[in-house]
Amino acid sequence: MRGNLGESIRFQQPVARVVLSRYPATLELSFFALLVCAAIAIPAGMYAAEYRSTAADHAVGVFTLFGLSVPNFALGPVLILVFSVILGWLPVSGRGGIWMDPRMRTYLIVTSLAR
């Protein structure tokens, strides 16, 4: 093993350089996904714990089971359709372009969720 990933056919650059250039977007997406999940899961879990064995507890359980059961490749296009095409809250793809400041992207997402 030498750790050499080779040359990208498409970009005509070393593969390691191409992968590392995309790494900040991956970290940003992971961080905001974690924030959104925590913002939903922690209050829902606290609510379900407060009202054990009630309809609300069962509803949180069903929502959790649905989230764990549906594969990402099936849920992803549905969420893109709902939040991008139907509601128009988020872009269909991309990070908003290289011209957009990361703080502006965060502002757009937060304000669109506050509607």
106 Cβ contact partners less than 8 Å away, ≥ 6 residues apart: 32
Asked if 82 and 73 touch (Cβ cutoff 8 Å), the reply is: no
DSSP annotation string for 66-91: HHHHS-HHHHHHHHHIIIIIIS--S-
Task: State whether residue 51 is helix, strand or coil.
Answer: coil
C-alpha–C-alpha distance, residues 15 and 8, integer Å: 5
pLDDT at res. 93: 75
Asked whether the beta carbons of 6 and 14 are under 8 A apart, the reply is: yes
Q: What's the pLDDT at 36?
A: 84
**What tens-digit pLDDT sequence spans the chain (115 residues)?**
777 888 888 889 999 898 888 888 888 878 888 988 899 899 999 999 999 999 989 999 998 898 889 898 888 888 888 888 888 777 777 765 545 666 666 666 666 666 5
Q: Is the pTM of this model over 0.75?
A: no
Domain boundaries, the chain: 71-115
